[in-house]
Structures are given as structure tokens and as C-alpha cells.
């Protein structure tokens, strides 16, 4: 299996894309560390993995806390080694014109989506360099590549993740370490459905699905499959890439 004897550390592993990624990596043999600010969610994913005879550890942490992330990544490396880091934790903000987005909202999005990725990489890269191997996959967004009205702070955070990924890929290649990003279109997860009324959401989902050439929104597994590929040896000669996973949304 693709992740036999490998250890994969996933942030935001308690829900949505991170949960599907953690479960998918475990199904392919990985020992998975499920890190999330939501302890119950992290434990829920770890329990699901263990129930399927997989190996998982839940860790409650906030990716904004560089020290906590370093401590968790160091402990993982010491206990079982570290092969793959998936910086996936992220948040969005209500759609709004740029000038109406409060500084506090902007800072929260940047701190989690961008500095959180920085903190994860800063913690893992010394370990990866020392062992001469490692794969990083950062969850960016289609909003980091194309302009999406109403999402200025989110776009700011995700555009930075895309180009940060390219920068570290260029730095790390000679150390045997790869770094890539995924750029999903709209995926049906709590980040998108939020606290919307289910009926209102169904109508909105159907309208949005009509804008996708493949006729539907994304499922967490659609993105998890792309992340697993980039994290695996099958992608051994791919680094610095931002892989669009969007049902064709951006091709027209
Ligand atoms: P989600 O809300 O289902 O899951 C996000 C997880 O991250 C949650 O478990 C949450 O508790 C965790 N998290 C949030 N803040 C955190 C913090 N400070 N520290 C640690 N964990 C934290 O959302 P999702 O859709 O699965 O999002 C995963 C990633 O995918 C995010 O980076 C998001 O920006 C990105 N993304 C999502 C979509 C989409 O349409 N759903 C599209 C493009 C990109």
C-alpha cells in the first residue's frame, strides 16, 4: 500500500477534507496523527480509523500556536518518524465586499490559513532535511489562483499559500523534500454549509452545481484523493505544483 510504514500528520483532520484525507491515508497503511483545534472532532476521526483497524493518534492543537505545533511534530518524529505533513486546517469568512471586511476577520483568516501553514512547515522542515526525505501538501484553494468576488481575505490567505508552496519547493528539492498544494473548488463540508438552513443550502448547492462542468460540487474524498497522490511516491517527480481539483469550474 502507498503509505505502509509511513507516518502522516494532518492538520484540520477532524472534519471535511482533512478527515477524508486522514482516513484515506490510514486505509493505505499510514499511521496518522489527526491534529485539530476541535478535540472531539480529532478524536472522532482517530476513532473511525481505529474502528477500521487503522493506526491513529488525535492531537488537540491550534495551528496558530507555533510552539504547540512544533512540540506535536517533534513528538511524532521521535515516536514514529515523520514522512508526510498535510497543512489543511483552514477557515473562511462570510462573503462581503473587501472594504466591509473587518481587520479582525482578515487577521483570523490570515493567521489560521497562512501562518498556520508556515508554522507547520517551520516545525517539520528541519526533520525532513535531516532525514533527506519528506512530502508536504498544503490545502490552498481555487480562490488562491482566480479572483472570487466577496472572498478577498480568504483569497489573500490562499494566494499566499500557493506561492509559499512554490518557494519552499524550490528551497527543499535538493534535500529530497517535496512540497505541493491542492486548489479545490467548492466542496460540501461544514466550512461551506456552515449554519445555513438545510433547505436554503440545497437550493444554493443545486445552483452552484450548475456552474461546474462535471455537474456537482466536490466531495471531501475528491480532494483527499489528490492530496494522497501528491503525498505519495507516485508523485516523486512533482514539486511546487498547485493542483486544481474543481470539477472543471475554472476551465471555462
Ligand atoms: P471543515 O470546516 O470541514 O474542516 C476544517 C477543520 O479545520 C475543522 O476540523 C476545524 O476544527 C479545523 N481548524 C480550524 N481552525 C483551526 C486551527 N486554528 N487549528 C487547527 N485546526 C483548525 O473545512 P474543509 O472544507 O474540510 O476545509 C479544509 C481546508 O480546505 C481548508 O484549508 C479550506 O480553506 C480548504 N478549502 C475548502 C474548500 C471547500 O469548499 N470546502 C474549498 C477550497 C479550499
Q: pLDDT digit string (tens) for 105-136?
A: 999 999 999 999 999 999 999 999 999 999 99
The DSSP secondary-structure symbol of 89 reads -
Atom 4 in ligand 1: residue holding the nearest Cα: 15
DSSP state of 150: T
pLDDT tens digit string along 128-179? 999 999 999 999 999 999 999 999 999 999 999 999 999 999 999 999 999 9
Cβ 118 vs Cβ 11: under 8 Å: no
In the chain, domain spans: 7-245
Residue 109: closest CA among 147, 153, 72: 153
Considering the domain 7-245, what is its CATH architecture? 3-Layer(aba) Sandwich (3.40)
Atom 41 of ligand 1, residue of closest alpha carbon? 187
Atom of ligand 1 nearest to the CA of 20: 26
Nearest in space to 88 (alpha carbons), one of 45, 51, 146, 133: 45
Atom 30 (ligand 1): residue with closest C-alpha? 139
- The pLDDT score that the predictor gives to residue 195 is 81
**Which residues have C-beta within 8 Å of that of residue 195, sequence separation ≥ 6?**
none
Whether ligand 1 lies within 6 angstroms of the CB of 244 is answered as no
**CB of residue 232 inside a 6 A radius of ligand 1:** no
Q: Is 69 in the pocket of ligand 1 (CB under 6 A)?
A: no
Which pLDDT score, from 0 to 100, does residue 17 have?
A: 98
pTM of the full predicted structure?
Answer: 0.98
Instruction: Find all residues with CB under 8 Å of 58, minimum gap 6, and list them.
Output: 34, 36, 39, 42, 43, 45, 46
**Count H helices, E strands: the chain?**
9, 7
Amino acid at each position: 500500500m502507498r503509505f505502509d510504514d509511513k507516518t502522516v500528520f494532518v492538520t484540520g483532520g477532524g472534519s471535511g477534507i482533512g478527515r477524508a484525507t486522514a482516513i484515506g491515508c490510514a486505509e493505505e497503511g499510514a499511521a496518522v496523527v489527526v491534529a485539530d483545534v476541535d478535540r472531539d472532532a480529532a478524536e472522532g476521526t482517530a476513532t473511525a480509523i481505529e474502528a477500521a483497524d487503522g493506526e491513529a493518534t488525535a492531537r488537540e492543537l491550534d495551528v496558530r500556536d507555533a510552539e504547540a505545533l512544533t512540540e506535536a511534530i517533534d513528538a511524532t518524529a521521535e515516536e514514529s518518524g515523520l514522512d508526510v505533513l498535510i497543512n489543511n486546517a483552514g477557515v473562511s469568512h462570510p462573503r462581503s465586499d473587501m472594504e466591509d471586511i473587518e481587520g479582525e476577520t482578515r487577521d483570523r483568516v490570515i493567521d489560521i490559513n497562512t501562518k498556520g501553514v508556515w508554522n507547520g512547515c517551520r516545525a517539520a522542515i528541519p526533520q525532513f532535511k535531516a532525514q533527506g526525505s519528506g512530502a508536504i501538501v498544503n490545502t490552498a484553494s481555487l480562490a488562491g489562483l482566480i479572483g472570487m468576488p466577496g472572498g478577498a481575505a480568504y483569497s489573500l490567505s490562499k494566494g499566499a499559500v500557493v506561492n509559499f508552496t512554490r518557494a519552499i519547493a524550490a528551497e527543499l528539492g535538493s534535500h529530497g523534500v517535496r512540497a505541493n498544494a491542492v486548489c479545490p473548488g467548492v466542496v460540501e463540508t461544514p466550512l461551506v454549509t456552515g449554519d445555513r438552513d438545510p433547505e436554503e443550502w440545497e437550493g444554493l448547492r443545486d445552483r452552484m452545481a450548475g456552474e461546474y462542468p462535471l455537474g456537482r460540487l466536490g466531495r471531501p474524498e475528491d480532494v483527499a484523493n489528490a492530496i494522497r497522490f501528491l503525498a505519495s511516491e507516485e508523485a516523486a517527480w512533482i514539486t511546487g505544483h498547485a493542483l486544481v481539483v474543481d470539477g472543471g469550474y475554472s476551465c471555462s
